[in-house]
Structures are given as structure tokens and as C-alpha cells.
Amino acid sequence: NELHSLIGTEVPVLSSELDEYYAKYFNRRSSIIVLSKKFESEFLLRKKRIEAYDQGLATLKSEIDGYRAAANEMFKSISLIKVRLASDSSGENHIAHNKLVNVVNANIDTYNRLQKNTNQLVRKYNDMVAKRNEIAFETRDMMKSMDSREHPKVEPSKNRAI
């Protein structure tokens, strides 16, 4: 059964009776245990990398949300000033009108920068999701190919591309 195999391939120190018993099946049981430990190490390394990506994704998502909120506020401000400019069509106060035009233009520049920064962060986020999922799929495939034991599930990121 499975426990029989696990003891023989993963437990480094056994009683002399068990060592003698497993000697029937393994010429160099210690080398198999070393390979098992390497496998475990590779699995844990990948798990830590996935966790690091998940933390990075959460940070990026927060930054993206911040830029989007700032861009939305800037868009509202631009819209309000444009309404004001449209309602002040009498042209009586050219100086005030021109100042508002300058404010709108500056706000549009700011809005465009916010959008550009958001788009850059979204590309970075999507690239990170792809890299994270690549490791998750690799880990899943590695687990499937090595044995039939039950291992913690490593799933693709729930953070989908934005």
C-alpha cells in the first residue's frame, strides 16, 4: 500500500528490521530519500514563489484601484468645468474663461497621465498573473507526474487578467 512505499522512500532513519526489509526493494534507499527531499524542496520553492506573486498581485491591484479612482475623480472635475465653460458662453469675462480653459487642459493632462500609469500597471499585473499561473501549472503537473499522494492544491490565480 501507499504507506509502505512512503516509509521506504521518505523516512531516512528506520529500525534495523525495517531497514533489512526495505533492502529487498532498494539497493540504495538513501539515494531515493535524497531525491524525495529534493522533490519536496522544489515543491516548496514553487509554493513560496506563488505566494510571493500573490502578494505582489494584491499590491498591484491596490495601486491600480488607486489610479482608477484618481482618474475617475479627475474625469468628474473635467466634466464639471466643461459644463461651466459651456454655460458661460456670454464671453463677458474672457480672463476667467481662459483660466478655466487652462485648468481643464491641465486636468486633461493629469487624467491622461493617470490613464497611462494605470495601463502600465495593468500590463504588469497581467504579466505577473501569467507568470504566477505558469508556476502553478508546473507545480500541479510535477505533482501529478511524481506520485499519487494527496497534496495541497495549487490552483491558478483567482486574480484574473484585468
Q: Does residue 52 carry a pLDDT above 60?
A: yes
What amino acid is encoded at 51 in this protein? E
Identify the pLDDT of residue 7: 86
Angle at which helix 94-146 crosses helix 29-87, to 10 degrees, equals 160
Segment of 8-12, 22-26, 28-32, 101-105 carrying the highest mean pLDDT? 101-105
Which residues lie closer than 8 Å to 157 by C-beta, 6 or more apart? 53, 54, 57, 129, 132, 133, 136
95 falls in which pLDDT band (50, 70, 90)? confident
Q: What is the mean pLDDT of residues 118-123?
A: 97
Dump pLDDT digits (tens) for 32-46. 899 889 988 999 999
Contact (Cβ atoms closer than 8 angstroms) between residue 97 and residue 85 = yes
